[in-house]
Structure 1
Amino acid sequence: MLRLIFSAAVGALVGGAVAAVVGPPGAGIWVLAVALPIGILSVVFLRLGASGLASTSVSQEDLTRARAEDRLGVARIDAVRQTGTQINDQPVCEIDVTVQPRRGAAYATTLRSVVPLIELGALRPDATRPVAILIEGGPEFGFVDGQVSPQEIDGLVVPPPGSVPKISWPKAQRVVNGARRGPLLGIGPRGRVLRGILFVVIALAVAAAVVAPYGRAVVMTAQAAQEGRIGVDLRRPDELAVAVRALEDEIGHDRVSTVLITSDFIRVEAPLTPGRTETDVWMYRGGVVDHEGPAPSQPDLAAEQFSWKDIALSTVWALMEKASAESGIPVGDASAVVSRGTDSDIDSETFGASVENPEMFISLRTEYKSVSFRVNADGSGDVVAQ
């Protein structure tokens, strides 16, 4: 189970890292924050399990079962060695013992266990202590000092060291209800390939689940890499088209009143219902559309709305390059704003309102200079400096 958890944590870490790179700001951070400690803890517990750590304590249920099945005995401490490892500031020790059961042959064994400092004195060599043997034939046992009467172990004599066979504790197994229980998945060479495939599948599945909300961004990032570009640029035709489709799907119609196009995000003010003036803000960034709520400034007229089809989306990048050539300023982080032009007819009922054909304003800047160009949103006409 721990290895399955570790595989899932690895998948979450990979997915979270991908989301953090291709998604909007903050994407994948919470996944990384959760998956990293889980992954570390699972590795720690895996290492502890692989080290063969055992517990020398016995539950009341285990003691009752051992007494009923006549699996009590005595054990002599032959040697105690501290391994140099500590868990919660308590030493991990190797304990050599010789066990004499009430029923069955004596045996020697070595167990690794975390020993509280206050209990080290009870593990002095040649000390004899009562034990409950947890499974028929051993070697698993636990100390039961004070829980067994002298009559229950009366007459038991532990053979001298080296005079009995040594039995090793089974690795990666524990005794539950008088029976050995191994890990959910085996650890031996048999089935290793299938286990490896399972772990990889789990990691990939979790990574895919984490990245799924940012699928558009992943695809566009891969396509940009194929073109030799690092990262997505939403001003370019293909990326812009994907973003516009995502916005249109989320908004539910194709009417907008203001569009801001940058390399990293597209911000749109659009009516909740075409033909009405109640307007909200939507933002496309990192493959995700966020609905940010009411626009700071609400339009006065429904006529300020226009369609995505009124914007020559496929020419935005080319228009920016043209503006760059005319101004001598690199495209860099140039942006474009699209909205309807202002009615300048003083005799019109809509004088001063944004009801004319949509216009695109392209802004280019450096640390020392900024310029702006205007062009018809449908791409027609000249690019005019403002």
Structure 2
Amino acid sequence: MLWSVIRLLLAASVGALGASVALALLGFDQVPTETAVAVTGSATALFFALVVMVGALAPSAQTSRVLRDLDAADREDRIALAQVLFIRETGTEINDRPLCELRLLVAPRDRDPYTTAARTVVGVLEAARLLPGSVQVVVRANAARPEVVLVPDPPEPWALQARSDTRVRSMTSAPEWVEPPPRGRTRAGLVRIPAVLFVVAALLGAGARAWPERVQLQAWAAGEPRAELVGERASDEYLTVFEPGAARTVADDLVAAAGVSQLTSLSFYGTYAAADALTSPGATTTDSFWWSDGVAERRGPTLIQPTAEGLPAALFDVSTLDLTPVQLLVDQTPALTGIDLAAADVMVLVRRATNAAVTTPTEFAVSVDGDYHDAWITADATGAVVAMEGGAPGSPAALAAQANG
């Protein structure tokens, strides 16, 4: 039963891995591609290893069941002598001991001799005992089937027969006894799973992986161009915090978490925001705060604490500051820098003015990190741009930097 469940989980993880790769190729992927492929790939490797391990352990489990009642097997003529024709390692190890396959010539008491195969874990001591030509005691789990199990510690009468036997030892060949596996079972005695269940498990795994992307996939299936859908996804990702009114909501959440509105910095990163604020009203120390997915929380003391003398000059009251320029500056940035924000990292920093061209107490500093070009824009508290540098060649930012030397 366990082996069956693990094999179905393996099929599901293979389906999820395939879906992860397909979503990455299509661009419909909310989960980072590296993360999705790594997780589903690791799960697939894990379940594959478990399938191999449980499959290898199956003969050992069957051996334990068969050896529990040798007296009953003896009464039913299921114990016999067998000659080892050859032995080879399968490449699998269990507890650092090789799993070996043996070719046996079995001489049962209730039928003619026959040849069959058996698997067993062989240690160093057993290897010397199982040499080709040696005679071993074996037991059949089912009198109507050829499969046998080696008896490592046979009853004394049988052990004596094996040591003194000459009849079985002198046999050179016998016909092979082959029976199909029991209905619904493999040759190892494990439950056989219909192929359709593997297909269903793989489809369920793929469906679970694709579920978060269902809206995009449905739109694509309905005929919307994939390029437009992928573009909308990228646009949504960088505009989350930069939508109209979002900056004020984020700032209010951070103030509520801090219990103060006096900040030394406020940074917007598109999908999250960060702030350094007074630890408490009237304090001379600062803590860091983080906003993501609508939740603001205190992260602990700011890494670099301000000096008592410099703190007053760094503070500003975010509750009285108009944050509309955050969204307006981001909207202007592509035209000013020539950089496509859908393929760039954008950050807007609010702080006390440091640029000599800014005449308001606070300033907005926009930083853009693109695939090929970077740019920086500085604006005053009203959103008026006072300085630019970087950007794509020929952009206003690049031309402004050239004009300023």
Give the TM-score normalised by structure 2: 0.57
Once the two structures are superposed, residues 155-209 of structure 1 have per-residue CA deviations (whole angstroms, 9 ceiling, x without a partner) of 99768733563346666465xxxxx5x34xx334xxx22332223324654x579
Task: Spell out, residue by residue over 1:41-74, the C-alpha distance to the aligned partner (whole angstroms, 9 max, x if none).
Answer: 5324535667897349943x64342423535412
Residues 108, 165 of structure 1: 8 Å contact kept: yes
Amino acid at match of 2:329: V
For this pair of structures, how many residues does the alignment match? 340
Who is 2:139 aligned against?
A: 132
Match of 2:72 in 1: 68
Q: Give the match's secondary structure for 2:51.
A: helix
- 1:374 maps onto 2:374 in alignment: no
Supply the distance in 1 between the matched residues of 2:30 and 2:297 (Cα, whole angstroms).
Answer: 16
Give 1:198's aligned residue. 201
Matches within 5 A, 1:1-386: 1-7=5-11, 10=14, 28=35, 32=38, 39-47=44-52, 54-55=59-60, 58-59=63-64, 62-69=66-73, 70-71=75-76, 72-77=78-83, 79-82=85-88, 85=91, 87=93, 93-101=100-108, 107-116=114-123, 118-150=125-157, 161-163=173-175, 165-167=177-179, 172=186, 182-183=190-191, 186-188=192-194, 192-202=195-205, 204-205=207-208, 207=209, 226=228, 232=234, 236-238=238-240, 240-241=242-243, 251=254, 253=256, 257=263, 258-262=265-269, 266-269=273-276, 280-283=287-290, 291-295=298-302, 304-306=317-319, 310-321=323-334, 323-324=336-337, 335-339=347-351, 359-363=363-367, 372-376=377-381, 379=383, 382-385=384-387
Report if the CA contact (8 A) 1:80-1:125 is conserved: yes
Q: Cα–Cα, structure 1 residues 235 and 200, in superposed 2: closer, same or farther, change >3 Å?
A: closer
Does the CA contact (< 8 Å) of 1:139 and 1:167 recur in 2?
A: yes
SS of equivalent residue, structure 2 residue 173? coil
Give yes or no for contact 1:335–1:362 (8 Å, CA) kept in 2: yes
Unaligned runs of 5+ in 2: 215-224, 355-359, 389-405
> Identity across aligned pairs (percent)?
19
- Equivalent pair of 1:109/1:169 in contact (CA under 8 Å): no
Cα shift readout 1:339-367 (whole Å, capped 9, x = no counterpart): 4679xxxxxxxxxxxxx786423357999
Instruction: Please state which structure has a larger fraction of its residues in helix.
Output: 2
Q: Which amino acid aligns with 1:324?
A: T
User: Quick check: 2:17–2:206 contact (8 Å CA) kept in 1?
Assistant: no
Q: Which moved more, 1:117-126 or 1:6-15?
A: 6-15
Letter in 2 for 1:373: T
Q: Secondary structure at the match of 2:288?
A: strand
CA distance in structure 2 between the partners assigned to 1:5 and 1:145 by the alignment: 35
Tell me, which stretches of 5 or more residues in structure 1 are unaligned? 175-179, 216-222, 343-355
The answer (yes or no) to whether the contact 2:15–2:205 under 8 Å persists in 1 is yes
Cα-Cα RMSD: 5.7
- TM-score (normalizing by structure 1): 0.59
Which amino acid counterpart does residue 80 of structure 1 have in structure 2?
A: F
1:40 aligned partner, one-letter code:
A
Distance 1:110 1:287, change over 3 A: farther
